[in-house]
């Protein structure tokens, strides 16, 4: 679970509530697996902070953590998570190329769509370097080239059009639109507020994807 708080005092109060609830239900949090992170506000950061404890044990401060498979960093830059997805895509595509090299093209296309187009949590990517984004796109293009046995210099757009597969940019647009649609249809009022904000990073990302 994750606790979000605007201040150290409020975080301590939330942790106290968790301790009381766990004790009342015969549970106990694992202190060794618990940690805290302070999000940066622009260039502002805090080198020293008041002690934050759980069951009297101080928690370790980290600059990144993995939540439900998605890397979250203190500076809210998505480069690390994009690299996580690029490495995962490389592993999956190499596995397909090795195990299904003798299959027909329709079978390979079906496998590619099932295993290489997930881009887990890509709808949340709003702050990243162009280099990291481009590396993932190149990895995606090369994955289909290897699977279909195409030369390295063949046209990526022509290859995807011929196979009737969405290219990298089409997938990003669809994932971004899907996330916004789900947020707007959510019954949670906090989520709906984020979806309707005109200065929302997710909305800016969606607009940029459809204008570029």
Do 45 and 83 belong to one domain?
no
CA atoms within 13 Å, Cβ hemisphere of 176:
19
Do 87 and 24 belong to one domain?
no
Render pLDDT for 100-131 as a digit per residue (tens, 0 to 9).
Answer: 999 999 999 999 999 999 999 999 999 999 99
Do 56 and 90 belong to one domain?
no
Predicted local distance difference test score (pLDDT) of residue 167 = 95
Do 41 and 145 belong to one domain?
no
Do 156 and 84 belong to one domain?
yes
Predicted local distance difference test score (pLDDT) of residue 212 = 62
Q: What are phi and psi of 78, to 5 degrees?
A: -95, 10
Asked whether residue 124 is assigned to any structural domain, the reply reads yes
Do 193 and 105 belong to one domain?
yes
Do 14 and 117 belong to one domain?
no
* Number of domains, the chain: 2
CA distance 212 to 207: 9
Asked whether residue 125 is assigned to any structural domain, the reply reads yes
Do 181 and 119 belong to one domain?
yes
CB 87 within 8 A of CB 52: no
Do 14 and 87 belong to one domain?
no
Predicted local distance difference test score (pLDDT) of residue 210 = 80
Do 37 and 88 belong to one domain?
no
Asked whether residue 33 is assigned to any structural domain, the reply reads yes
Pinpoint the alpha helices (H) of 149-188.
156-163, 168-184
Asked whether residue 198 is assigned to any structural domain, the reply reads yes
Low-confidence spans in the chain with pLDDT less than 50? none
Predicted local distance difference test score (pLDDT) of residue 196 = 75
Asked whether residue 3 is assigned to any structural domain, the reply reads no
CB 167 within 8 A of CB 156: yes
Asked whether residue 74 is assigned to any structural domain, the reply reads no
Predicted local distance difference test score (pLDDT) of residue 186 = 86
Asked whether residue 1 is assigned to any structural domain, the reply reads no
Q: What are phi and psi of 81, to 5 degrees?
A: -70, -35
Q: Which domain holds residue 91?
A: 79-211
Asked whether residue 171 is assigned to any structural domain, the reply reads yes
Do 155 and 206 belong to one domain?
yes
CA distance 129 to 34: 30
Do 135 and 169 belong to one domain?
yes
């Amino acid at each position: 679970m994750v606790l979000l708080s605007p201040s150290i005092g409020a975080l301590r109060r939330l942790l106290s509530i968790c301790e009381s609830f766990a004790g009342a239900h015969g549970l106990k949090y694992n202190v060794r697996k618990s940690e805290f992170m302070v999000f940066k506000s622009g260039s502002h950061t805090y080198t020293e902070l008041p002690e934050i404890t759980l069951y009297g044990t101080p928690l370790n401060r980290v600059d990144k953590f993995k939540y439900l498979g998605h890397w979250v960093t203190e500076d809210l830059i998505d480069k690390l998570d994009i690299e996580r997805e690029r490495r995962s895509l490389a592993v999956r595509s190499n596995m397909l190329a090795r195990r299904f090299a003798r299959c027909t093209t329709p079978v390979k296309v079906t496998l590619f769509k099932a295993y290489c187009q997930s881009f887990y949590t890509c709808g949340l990517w709003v702050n990243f370097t162009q280099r990291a984004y481009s590396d993932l796109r190149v990895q995606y293009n090369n994955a289909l080239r290897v699977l279909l046995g195409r030369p390295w210099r063949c046209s990526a757009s022509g290859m995807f059009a011929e196979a009737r597969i969405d290219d990298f940019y089409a997938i990003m647009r669809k994932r971004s639109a899907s996330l916004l649609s789900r947020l707007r249809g959510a019954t949670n009022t906090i989520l709906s507020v984020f979806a309707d904000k005109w200065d929302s990073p997710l909305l800016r990302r969606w607009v940029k994807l459809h204008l570029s």
